[in-house]
Structure 1
Amino acid sequence: MGSSKSTEKPFNISKGLVWAAYQKVKANKGAPGVDGQSVDAFEKDLKDNLYRIWNRMSSGSYFPPPVKAVEIAKAHGDGVRVLGVPTVADRVAQTVVAMTLEPRMEQIFHDGSYGYRVGRSALDAVEACRERC
Structure 2
Amino acid sequence: MLGVFVLTFAVPALAQTPCAGVPKDEPFVMVTAPAAGAKVKSGFAVSGCSRTFESTVVWTLTVRGGKALAKGTARGGGVDGSGPLSFTVAARVARPTLAYLEVIEPSASGGAPASRVIVPVVLTP
Which bin holds the TM-score, normalised by the shorter protein? Answer: under 0.3
Higher helix proportion (structure 1 or 2): 1
Normalising by structure 1, we get a TM-score of 0.24
Normalising by structure 2, we get a TM-score of 0.25
Structure possessing the higher radius of gyration over alpha carbons: 1
